[in-house]
Chain A
Amino acid sequence: MSISEEAYRVMEDIVGAGYISSDAVDMEAYRGGVEGYGASMGFAKVMSRLPAAVIMPKTTEEVQKIVRVCNLFKIPFIPVSTMFWLAQSVPHVEGSLLIDLKRMDKLEIDEEHMYALVESGVIYSQLQEQAMRRGLYTTVPGGGSQVSVIANMLDCGFSPLNFRNGFPSRRLLGIEWVLPDGEILRTGSLAFSDDPFWGEGPGPELRGILRGNAPGWNGSFGICTQMAIKLSPFQPEKLEPSGISPHTTLQLPPKRMRWINFTLPDREALINAMYKIGEAEVSAAMTKVPIFFRVVAKSESKEDFWELWRKESEESLAKFHVLRVLLIGYTSEEQLDYEERVLMDIMGELGGEPRRTKPTDESWFKNADSAGMWLMAGGYISVEYCLETIESAAQQGEDYATLKKQYTPPLMADYGDPGWFQSIEIGHGGYFEFLIFYDPREDTNRVDHFYLETAKLNIKKGHWTSFCGSSQPIRLIGPAYGPNFHLWMMKVKETFDVNSLSNPPVPYEHDVFIDRAEWMHPLEDWKDPIKDWKDPNME
């Protein structure tokens, strides 16, 4: 299905001929399916569609006009900025317009009021560099520093640094939003001034509606074109880049910043340490190190990884309780010294032993190289990320690890590793992410099964789920966690997107996938509470 010539011409007038294309070669370059996050999994294979056209607006006004044209001509559209989450960044219905926001790359920092104003094409490492030059910083998320700040802030945005600077959603200030019908909505202080310094109001708080739940609306609620983000004060010394690719790193100023890895005697000691460090209100970040991460970090190549990985075992994993703690002397060198002494006292009590740790950061400040997660097996996806207590984060991982054994292979054997968890918001919460690895060249149907079964496990055991808006079938999750939040989501969506054009069929896309994927049908044992709902754009 193509976009009518008339509609195409109108859009060409909006952006100029060089910024729109429907050429088959250009479209092929946007093909989804076998690559990226969740590569070759059923969702990507079944749901991905080539766009009918790609357009690249430069301004909010152009975005607004394009969305209005889409409504006039009933063209489904999907906004993208970096397309890192490829399965969610390609159209899911035929005849879609892909709105690539990469040209919108404005980045301004208000140093005095400690916030950044970014457009959709700005990525984290750009923001982080500019922030650090002004003595400020933000959180570079696990997804990587190459992801769009706006897309990620709307989606998840978590990193170990959230220990200190909190939930990403709490750092959203003024937002500019082109709604699915083309209306522009400005929230917070942007609603009545040019300064986006404040996030709330006027009137009812809209940021929750606009964001949706983690992982957000995935482009099904219009297009966020500008966002102001609160920055946090950083320590004053420069993190010096060094090395030649691929061995590049940031040298940490030794008197101001220090990662320390501790080996703890057991799981309980590790969790206790996380709680106690939070209670003492010291450190800037902490994360439990999955053994997989460690072996990845030690490997020079895929082959090297497998040689090392095969030397690990359930026994070695059972003894591997490593907590990685970051200290920052935000206010002074003395702060770091004090926090280190407190930390050592806590570790002393719990039997934690410091390990030799490099005085560098390769990951969390400017890189967050999640890309390395794909290197070893070829296929990777996180089947859940949870925001609960530290204890429940650990428990959920252990439950997943038990379930996973039934699906290994095709999943990569990992000796029962319960995943990655960290402390957030000064120990008041735990963040858990369960990463699975597989070879996309193998039959991935059982990978799809495991993915779905984790949602059922969450329901059965009362675990938290972040996948309330998308990433799992809403017909399954809604009644279990609602009892009717899914109906509310659909009503909100229908109210704002009357023509159902903004990235359909999100937030219903996993339901559609399961309807379409025969190998998923035997697992579809839930009652369909909104069976009659049909997306008008689905063929």
Chain B
Amino acid sequence: MKEEKIKLNVTEIENFYYDITRCIRCKGCKWVDHIYMPGVKFSTRCPSEKRYLFDSYSAYGRLKLAQAVIEGRLDFSEKMLDAIYKCQLCGACDVGCKRNLDLEIELPLEALRIRAVESGKGPMPQHKQIAGNIEETHNRFDAPHGNRQKWLPADVKPARKADIVYFVGCSASYAHPEIAEATARILNAAKSDFMLLGSEEWCCGYPLYITGQIEAAKKNAQHNTEAIRKSGAGVVLVSCAEGYRMLKVNYPKMFNKSTTEMGFKVVHLTEYVDELVKKGTLKFTKKMDLRVTYHDACNLSRLSEPWIYWEGTRGEWGVTNPPMPRRRGTNGIYQQPRDIIKSIPGLELVEMVRFRENAWCCGAGGGVKEAFPDFALWTASERLEEVKETGAEIIVTGCPWCKDNFNDAVKKDDINLKVYDFSELILQAISL
């Protein structure tokens, strides 16, 4: 067998041809890990497959579509775009496959969208609109760039120079100022000095990257990376799961680097607070007699492992040389948020049936909320069915986009449930 040169580079889908053609339809991408299988109810992990049923809406089917594109049998028709964009790219399939076959799934699906955009057919019109907003105003909402720091309360003073820079993100800057404010107050309470990038902070690029608009995403990544470096911060603190994954994983991925080569460390608020609590720097003093369930945001959990750039060869038996590093979702941020909840007096943590790496996506990611809002809402409603079975009064998550989508579903389904971002929960517990 002749050795082939390959790279972990999503701009060329051919890099993943081996993975695409080695699927065996064990459907690890569909089912919850069988060890944790709960029965028929809540037994699957892929929203798209469950909602649309045809194999073209599953990871195993989409790999076939990717193969057909590479082999020239299909182009990016309207139906094809429907099949590849009705997917949150939530990574559940990727982790499931790596339980069994250790194939790359998320990466070829990302690469397929990039190829769709390159072909001039993708992404969906709503995604193009958002790209236009970001180009114009550096945020996805088309809000004035000058308002990015409007959330900052008068009594919170960011440092001019600190080791931590808080990357606020579009959602907390414009749509959910309560998250930004809570995060800032938590840092104040912990006596952790932090800087803001202010007008130098642009959209993290998630809505661009995840819809295949990689050139535009790269532009934002370059700008933000430069701004962070100029700030001199060693730590970038993020309260948004999408921003976290972009800065930690997708920026180095786009730059053909590893996370460790970026020159700064990316930390989610839950990681940071967990460390403070364990050191005793931050104490939860307020008792909260509540039953809470935790939703693992995809971008904070199974998709958040550090990126390791790799290039090499694949030879006999498909063996890679040097050995290709695998990101299997094992080391995502799972335990820290749970430890925080457990350390808040009075809070009772009740897990959903599908938790941690098997969690069902909230439905908002991957450009779905923008292009297919009904599907996003359906996905959230499915999750809330699971929440109901826990008897929880609160669902807490580390991603503002999850919070939004759950809130929309709570309203639609008329459910008595509060949806919290993690920052809000922590702020309440430290009782300022």
Contact surface of A with B, Cβ cutoff 8 Å: 18-19, 21, 23-26, 28-31, 34-37, 39, 54, 56, 82-84, 86, 100, 102-103, 105, 107, 122-123, 125-126, 128-130, 133, 144-146, 241, 243-250, 301-304, 306, 362, 366-367, 369-372, 374-378, 412, 439-442
Q: Which residues of B contact A248 (CB under 8 A)?
A: 33, 35-36, 99
Cβ of B317 and Cβ of A374 under 8 Å apart? no
Q: Which residues of B contact A23 (CB under 8 A)?
A: 79
A-B contact pairs, 10 of them (CB 8 A): A23-B79, A25-B80, A29-B55, A103-B53, A107-B39, A244-B334, A302-B319, A304-B323, A370-B26, A375-B100
Q: Complex formed: what's the CA distance from A231 to B80 in Å?
A: 44
Q: Complex formed: what's the CA distance from A25 to B62 in Å?
A: 10
Across the interface, name the chain B residue whose C-beta is closest to A85.
Answer: B25
Cβ of A102 and Cβ of B53 under 8 Å apart? yes
Contacting residues of chain B (48-69) with chain A, CB-CB under 8 angstroms: 53-56, 58, 60-62, 64-65, 67-68
Does B24 have its Cβ within 8 Å of any Cβ on chain A? yes
Q: Complex formed: what's the CA distance from A145 to B26 in Å?
A: 9
For the complex formed, measure the closest distance between the CB of B30 and the CB atoms of chain A, giving whole angstroms. 8
Q: Complex formed: what's the CA distance from A34 to B334 in Å?
A: 37
Cβ of A371 and Cβ of B64 under 8 Å apart? no
A31-B67, A35-B24, A130-B39 given; 9 more Cβ-contact pairs under 8 Å: A30-B61, A31-B64, A129-B38, A146-B28, A245-B357, A246-B330, A375-B102, A377-B317, A441-B318
- Indicate with 1 or 0, residue by residue over B1-40, a CB within 8 angstroms of chain A CB atoms: 1000000000000000000011111111001011111111
Q: Complex formed: what's the CA distance from A245 to B97 in Å?
A: 10
Q: Complex formed: what's the CA distance from A491 to B328 in Å?
A: 52
Q: Which of A34, A133, A366 contacts B21 (CB 8 A)?
A: A34
Does B418 have its Cβ within 8 Å of any Cβ on chain A? no
Q: Complex formed: what's the CA distance from A37 to B22 in Å?
A: 10
For the complex formed, measure the closest distance between the CB of A180 and the CB atoms of chain B, giving whole angstroms. 25
Cβ of B101 and Cβ of A25 under 8 Å apart? no
Q: Complex formed: what's the CA distance from A378 to B320 in Å?
A: 13
For the complex formed, measure the closest distance between the CB of B294 and the CB atoms of chain A, giving whole angstroms. 15
Q: Complex formed: what's the CA distance from A210 to B1 in Å?
A: 45
Does B278 have its Cβ within 8 Å of any Cβ on chain A? no
Quick one: which of A100, A133, A439 has the most chain B CB within 10 A? A439
Does B109 have its Cβ within 8 Å of any Cβ on chain A? no
Q: Which of A35, A39, A102, A145 contacts B34 (CB 8 A)?
A: A145
Q: Which residues of A contact B65 (CB under 8 A)?
A: 25, 28-29
Cβ of A371 and Cβ of B62 under 8 Å apart? no
Quick one: which of A39, A82, A83, A371 has the most chain B CB within 10 A? A371
Q: Complex formed: what's the CA distance from A377 to B357 in Å?
A: 27
Cβ of B24 and Cβ of A36 under 8 Å apart? yes
Cβ of B25 and Cβ of A378 under 8 Å apart? no
Q: Complex formed: what's the CA distance from A49 to B53 in Å?
A: 21
Cβ of A146 and Cβ of B34 under 8 Å apart? yes
Cβ of B31 and Cβ of A146 under 8 Å apart? yes
Across the interface, name the chain B residue whose C-beta is closest to A89.
Answer: B25
Across the interface, name the chain A residue whose C-beta is closest to B84.
Answer: A25
Q: Which residues of A contact B24 (CB under 8 A)?
A: 35-37, 39, 84, 86, 371, 374
Cβ of A303 and Cβ of B323 under 8 Å apart? yes
Q: Which residues of A contact B73 (CB under 8 A)?
A: 28
Does B316 have its Cβ within 8 Å of any Cβ on chain A? yes
Whether A371 contacts B28 in the complex (CB less than 8 A), given A244-B334, A302-B319, comes out as: yes
Q: Which residues of A contact B96 (CB under 8 A)?
A: 245
Cβ of B54 and Cβ of A54 under 8 Å apart? yes
For the complex formed, measure the closest distance between the CB of A373 and the CB atoms of chain B, giving whole angstroms. 9
Does B77 have its Cβ within 8 Å of any Cβ on chain A? yes
Q: Complex formed: what's the CA distance from A248 to B100 in Å?
A: 11
Cβ of B318 and Cβ of A378 under 8 Å apart? yes
Across the interface, name the chain A residue whose C-beta is closest to B74.
Answer: A28
Does B87 have its Cβ within 8 Å of any Cβ on chain A? no
Q: Which residues of B contact A122 (CB under 8 A)?
A: 40
Cβ of A442 and Cβ of B35 under 8 Å apart? no
Q: Which residues of A contact B56 (CB under 8 A)?
A: 25-26, 28-29
Q: Which of A28, A146, A439 contacts B317 (CB 8 A)?
A: A439
For the complex formed, measure the closest distance between the CB of A522 and the CB atoms of chain B, giving whole angstroms. 25
Cβ of A126 and Cβ of B40 under 8 Å apart? yes
Does B43 have its Cβ within 8 Å of any Cβ on chain A? yes
Q: Which secondary structure dominates chain A's binding surface? A: loop
Does B83 have its Cβ within 8 Å of any Cβ on chain A? yes
For the complex formed, measure the closest distance between the CB of A106 and the CB atoms of chain B, giving whole angstroms. 8
Q: Which residues of A contact B36 (CB under 8 A)?
A: 241, 248
Does B95 have its Cβ within 8 Å of any Cβ on chain A? yes
Does B356 have its Cβ within 8 Å of any Cβ on chain A? yes
Q: Complex formed: what's the CA distance from A422 to B339 in Å?
A: 45
Across the interface, name the chain A residue whose C-beta is closest to B318.
Answer: A378
Q: Which of A29, A56, A302, A439 contacts B1 (CB 8 A)?
A: A439
Cβ of A439 and Cβ of B22 under 8 Å apart? no
Does B326 have its Cβ within 8 Å of any Cβ on chain A? yes
Q: Which residues of A contact B169 (CB under 8 A)?
A: none
Cβ of B39 and Cβ of A129 under 8 Å apart? yes
Across the interface, name the chain A residue whose C-beta is closest to B55.
Answer: A29
Does B98 have its Cβ within 8 Å of any Cβ on chain A? yes
Q: Complex formed: what's the CA distance from A304 to B28 in Å?
A: 22
Whether A250 contacts B35 in the complex (CB less than 8 A), given A28-B64, A442-B1, comes out as: yes
Q: Complex formed: what's the CA distance from A374 to B97 in Å?
A: 12
Cβ of B317 and Cβ of A376 under 8 Å apart? yes
For the complex formed, measure the closest distance between the CB of B108 and the CB atoms of chain A, giving whole angstroms. 14
Whether A245 contacts B328 in the complex (CB less than 8 A), given A82-B27, A371-B101, comes out as: yes
Cβ of A302 and Cβ of B55 under 8 Å apart? no
For the complex formed, measure the closest distance between the CB of B382 and the CB atoms of chain A, giving whole angstroms. 15
Q: Which of B23, B68, B319, B328 contacts A35 (CB 8 A)?
A: B23
For the complex formed, measure the closest distance between the CB of A226 and the CB atoms of chain B, giving whole angstroms. 15
Quick one: which of B24, B53, B320 has the most chain A CB within 10 A? B24
For the complex formed, measure the closest distance between the CB of A212 and the CB atoms of chain B, giving whole angstroms. 23
Across the interface, name the chain B residue whose C-beta is closest to A19.
Answer: B53
Q: Which residues of A contact B330 (CB under 8 A)?
A: 244-247
Cβ of A84 and Cβ of B55 under 8 Å apart? no
- Indicate with 1 or 0, residue by residue over B70-84, a CB within 8 angstroms of chain A CB atoms: 000110010110010
Q: Complex formed: what's the CA distance from A48 to B399 in Å?
A: 45
Q: Which residues of B contact A24 (CB under 8 A)?
A: 74, 79
Does B329 have its Cβ within 8 Å of any Cβ on chain A? yes
Q: Complex formed: what's the CA distance from A249 to B33 in Å?
A: 10
Q: Which of A83, A250, A304 contacts B25 (CB 8 A)?
A: A83
Q: Which residues of B contact A86 (CB under 8 A)?
A: 24-25
Q: Which residues of A contact B35 (CB under 8 A)?
A: 241, 243, 248-250, 362, 366-367
For the complex formed, measure the closest distance between the CB of B398 and the CB atoms of chain A, giving whole angstroms. 18
Q: Which residues of B contact A26 (CB under 8 A)?
A: 54-56, 79, 83
Q: Which residues of B contact A442 (CB under 8 A)?
A: 1
Whether A56 contacts B53 in the complex (CB less than 8 A), given A125-B34, A125-B37, A130-B39, comes out as: yes
Q: Which residues of A contact B99 (CB under 8 A)?
A: 245-246, 248, 369
Across the interface, name the chain A residue whose C-beta is closest to B302.
Answer: A245
Q: Complex formed: what's the CA distance from A378 to B22 in Å?
A: 7
Q: Which residues of B contact A39 (CB under 8 A)?
A: 22, 24
For the complex formed, measure the closest distance between the CB of B47 and the CB atoms of chain A, giving whole angstroms. 15
For the complex formed, measure the closest distance between the CB of A119 and the CB atoms of chain B, giving whole angstroms. 10
Across the interface, name the chain A residue whose C-beta is closest to B334.
Answer: A244
Q: Complex formed: what's the CA distance from A31 to B70 in Å?
A: 15
Q: Which residues of B contact A440 (CB under 8 A)?
A: 21-22
Cβ of A35 and Cβ of B26 under 8 Å apart? no
For the complex formed, measure the closest distance between the CB of A36 and the CB atoms of chain B, giving whole angstroms. 4
Q: Complex formed: what's the CA distance from A421 to B100 in Å?
A: 23
Q: Which of B26, B40, B318, B329 contacts A144 (CB 8 A)?
A: B26
Whether A107 contacts B53 in the complex (CB less than 8 A), given A39-B24, A86-B25, comes out as: no
Shortest beta-carbon contacts, A-B, top 3: A29-B61, A371-B100, A29-B55
Q: Which residues of A contact B95 (CB under 8 A)?
A: 245
